Amino acid sequence: MAFDFTGYETGSFYDEMFDASGQPHPHARMLYDRFRELSPDEVGRLRAEAEAALLNMGITFTVYKEESGIERIFPFDLLPRVVGAEEWTRLETGLKQRLMALNLFLKDIYHDQRIVKEGVLPRDLVESASGFCKRCSGWSPPRGIYTHVAGIDLVRDGEGEIRILEDNLRTPSGVSYVLENRNVLKRIFPRLFKTQKIRPVDDYPSKLLETLLHIAPQGVESPVVAVMTPGIYNSAYFEHSFLAREMGVQLVEGRDLVVDGGYVKMRTTRGLERVDVIYRRVDDDFMDPKAFREDSVLGVPGIMDAYMNGKVAIANAFGNGIADDKVIYAFVPAMIRFYLGEDPILPNVDTFVCHDPKQRQYVLANLDKLVVKSANESGGYGMLIGPHATQAEREDFARRIEAEPRTYIAQPTLQLSRVPTIVGDHFEGRHVDLRPYILYGEEIHVLPGGLTRVALKKGSLVVNSSQGGGSKDTWVLSGDDWGNGWGMVHAPSQSQTQGASGC
Amino acid sequence: MLSRVAESLYWMARYVERAENVARFLDVTNHLSLDLPGTTESLWEALIAVMADEKPYAERFDAISEANVLHFMVCDTANPNSLISCLRAARENARQVREVITNEMWLQLNTLFHLVRTAADQGLPSVTEALYREIIMGSHLFFGLMSGCLPHNEAYQFAQLGRFIERADKTSRIIDVKYFILLPRPSDVGSPIDANQWRAVLKSVSAYETYWKRRARIEPALVIEFLLAERDFPRAVLFCLIRSRDYLQRVLSDMPEAREREESLEIASRLVHELTATPVNELIGRGLHEYIDQMQRDLNALHSGIAERFF
């Protein structure tokens, strides 16, 4: 018996691997053929191998319930999701366009606020947003860049249209899984990588370093870069450490840093040393107990002043929370038209803003059909999935919406696309999204790939790792005809062997 | 290098080295108990004494027994010196410095941790000789990857410093225990049991073969001399002290500003000097236990000096 796709049903959903007639999409053909060669035993062995590799690499997140904490690997499915070259080109262009507009929005909102003055965005939505940073008004970050690292979540709806679900412009995580998932799959399916043109993702750390060096304070000859982490108990600590290692820079915690003479310095075995660029994975509120939350032990007192005086560059910029606010999201297509004079390439998911009385009325009348999200929560929390909710849950949300309309948006329940996923000894369709990573340095660079998150529970639409989600590798195929091997290089001479005379 | 990073490297190495030594102690006690007729409680008791863990042990167990001691020293997460605790601590420290050590080092330590964690979860039946061997070999693989693939820079020097201080401490403890605790009656001296125990001590630090190449017979003073002062034997105390001093000197030589007095270096140098300048027979004559006790206090002071200067 082969571990193949016999009996696999695409159902009424768009399937990332098969078309409606049950044939694999052209870009998924090779993968389809390879998997059909595998026996169930082989698949079992490869899965175990992949999981052992992830566990031993320590690519785990910790569930803190017992004193020691239980370590789990982020569940990983062997079958990758494949994106064709043409589709990727469109995505890439659309993502660049969106990020450019979001960056212009941040610049505008902290300076002239033209977008408000010209009536595109209601003023009270801006001022009431929890991510708005009052101190940032009138101030410009180095080279005018706010969103150095972005992760933008995409979903494909029932019609096959790819839509933007969410922008993450503060400290998006997950890119280390993209790189490590790829490493694991390369080990497991070397042949596929030789025969298919899968675009590599492993230059991400060097691109990230370039992005960071681009904003280093002027006149510093060899800038010192550091990744700042909340510490080993943060669920993304693995990633912070991974990125620091891959970039060859220091990984620091708040307690390693001190502001001295206006500059940010780290405590080393040889005394204090200056840091010029910080890629921080600590939220705004926790960065500086003097400027924000006094109780923060993760931050560095006085770092905000050093930042605003240009003594240290920090990525991402402070105040980005206004731009990835779930309510502001609804206005991004309008921003693209406003700042760039272009039509958005990638559409939003239709969104009802409860702040607006008319839209609110519609939402309240249709709670059984809609997904409601709170602007102040993430990770799949604070959400109502109307069609799956009980009457009581819907009533509860109706009360919350009426109490705080500013906080809520609603969207139609999407028929997210599915990808075949290993369940026991066969494949079943599971819903997925896709988070590509985008770097904004001298130019905008989209990593060809991304984190495909998969809702492992049957029928579930929630892909977050905290809610039973897993991940898949994402293969972006290359359209051009580039070779993926090195040219042959002749070694200057053979190695010496014992007893052979060299002359 | 970040002070926090230096400290983590130092402790990472200390804990791996400690796990290895604990595994060695367990391995050899296990062997010894097979050779001894009748009760073996005193052997297991001695093991608790080697680690100076009598008090925490007594708080957790009423009686000395093989099963209790094994549980305490292998699986007990409440005992900071158990194998599982040492490897967990080593790993937590390594996690702090993942970007400084190599990926292979991390992989190896992580694999070793999961191996012991699985055994500890399963309990005593899975605590076997094979497990001890894997830990000993696993520790060497870890340090081998460190020596062979990590630049011999400050990071390496701090790790080596921790490793050799730890090893000096453990070798000195095992001598002390054999000499002071396992030797209750003068009539036992020179008996086959006594010789057996000294052989076991040598084996516990992989010194047995080298010892026989250099000494003609097993005799307490000779074994003690070997384990304390055999200058080129890597687990002898003197060897470890010299290494500790040298790594400390290297770390200090890179410092931008030299201090007039480096207290930690003075302690390390004094320890080396004492052991080089005094014949071992004289140390035994003056009271070996007192000497080793003092050495352990000095090693603690050495650690404090390092912590204060760098961490």
Q: What is the DSSP string of A256-276?
A: GEEEETTEEEEEETTEEEE--
Q: Answer whether B211 touches A (CB < 8 Å).
A: no
Are A267 and B4 a contacting pair at CB < 8 A? yes
Which is it for strands A451-455 and A426-435: parallel, antiparallel or unpaired?
antiparallel
Nearest chain B residue (CA) to A270: B255
Is A252 in CB contact (< 8 Å) with chain B?
yes
d(CA B120, CA B123): 5
Q: Closest chain B residue to A244 measured between Cα atoms? A: B99
Could you give the residue ranges of the DSSP H alpha helices within A222-355? 237-247, 284-287, 303-308, 332-335
Which residue of chain A is at minimal alpha-carbon distance from B253? A270
Lookup result for tokens 């669920």: A235
The pLDDT score that the predictor gives to residue B220 is: 85
SS3 B94: helix
Instruction: Supply the pTM of this predicted model.
Output: 0.83
Beta bridge partners of A353: A409
Closest CA to A395 of A432, A368, A431, A373: A368
The confidence score (pLDDT) of residue B190 equals 63
Picking from A49, A55, A56 by the largest number of B CB atoms within 10 A of its own CB, the best residue to mutate is: A56
Confidence class of residue A489 from pLDDT cuts 50, 70 and 90?
very low
Q: Is A71 on the interface with B (CB under 8 A)?
A: no
Are A270 and B256 a contacting pair at CB < 8 A? yes
CB-based contact B96 A232, cutoff 8 Å: yes
Q: What is the mean pLDDT of residues A317-324?
A: 95
Q: Which helix (H) or strand (E) holds A251?
A: strand A250-252
How many CB atoms within 10 Å of residue A117?
11
State the average pLDDT over residues B192-202. Answer: 82
Cβ contact A269–B99 (<8 Å): no
Tally C-beta pairs within 8 A across A and B: 64
CA–CA gap between residue B143 and residue B176 (Å, rounded)? 27
| A 217-246 → B contacts, CB under 8 A | 232, 237, 241-242, 244-245
| Residue A271 at interface with chain B, using a CB cutoff of 8 Å | yes
Model pLDDT, residue A378: 67
Residue A59: φ, ψ to 5°:
-85, 75
Give me the sign of the Cα torsion angle A444, A449, A450, A452. Answer: positive
Nearest CA to CA, how far is A241 from chain B (Å)?
Answer: 6
Cβ neighbourhood burial of A364 (10 Å; 0-12, 13-18, 19+): middle
Highest mean pLDDT among A146-155, B29-38, B176-185: A146-155
**With contact defined as beta carbons under 8 Å apart, do B158 and B10 qualify?**
yes
**Chain B contact for A55 (CB, 8 A cutoff):** yes
Nearest to B99 among A232, A245, A269 (CB): A245
Using a 10 angstrom Cβ sphere, with 0-12 exposed, 13-18 middle and 19 or more buried, the burial of residue A139 is middle
Quick count: other Cβ atoms within 10 Å of Cβ B221?
Answer: 13
- Reported as a single tens digit per residue, the pLDDT across A229-259 is 999 888 888 899 999 989 989 999 999 999 9
Tens of pLDDT, residue by residue over B19-61, are 999 999 898 888 878 877 677 788 888 889 888 899 999 999 9
Does the beta carbon of A255 lie under 8 angstroms from any beta carbon of chain B? yes
Closest Cα partner for A275 from A241, A296, A249, A238? A249
Q: What is the DSSP string of A82-146?
A: EE-HHHHHHHHHHHHHHHHHHHHHHHHHTTT-HHHHTTSS-HHHHHT-TT--GGGTT---GGG--
Nearest to B95 among A232, A249, A270 (CB): A232
Q: For position A480, what pLDDT does the model report?
A: 62
Contact status of B99 with chain A (Cβ, < 8 Å) = yes
Give the amino acid at A103. N
Contacts of A253 in chain B (CB under 8 A): 4
Pairing of strands A271-274, A352-353: unpaired
Least confident of A4-8, B107-111, B228-232: A4-8
Under an 8 A CB cutoff, do A271 and B256 touch? Answer: yes
Query: Identity (one letter) of the amino acid at B229?
Result: A
Considering only alpha carbons, which residue of chain A is nearest residue B113? A56
Contact B2 A255 (CB under 8 A): no
For residues B80 and B72, give the distance between their C-alpha atoms in angstroms, rounded to a whole number: 10
Instruction: Select the residue of A58, A237, A249 nearest B106 (Cβ to Cβ).
Output: A58
pLDDT at B257: 72
pLDDT for B29? 86
Say if residue A73's pLDDT is above 80. Answer: no
Q: Is any Cβ of chain B less than 8 angstroms from the Cβ of A137?
A: no
CB contacts, 8 Å: A180 with chain B? none
Asked whether the beta carbons of A48 and A439 are under 8 A apart, the reply is no
Whether residues B4 and A250 touch (CB distance < 8 A) is answered with no
Residue A54: closest C-alpha in chain B: B107
Residues of B in contact with A237 (CB under 8 A): 95
The partner residue sitting opposite A267, judged by closest CB among B2, B100, B111, is B2
Query: Nearest to residue A300, comparing CAs of A313, A289, A316?
Result: A289
pLDDT band at A493 (very low <50, low <70, confident <90, very high): low
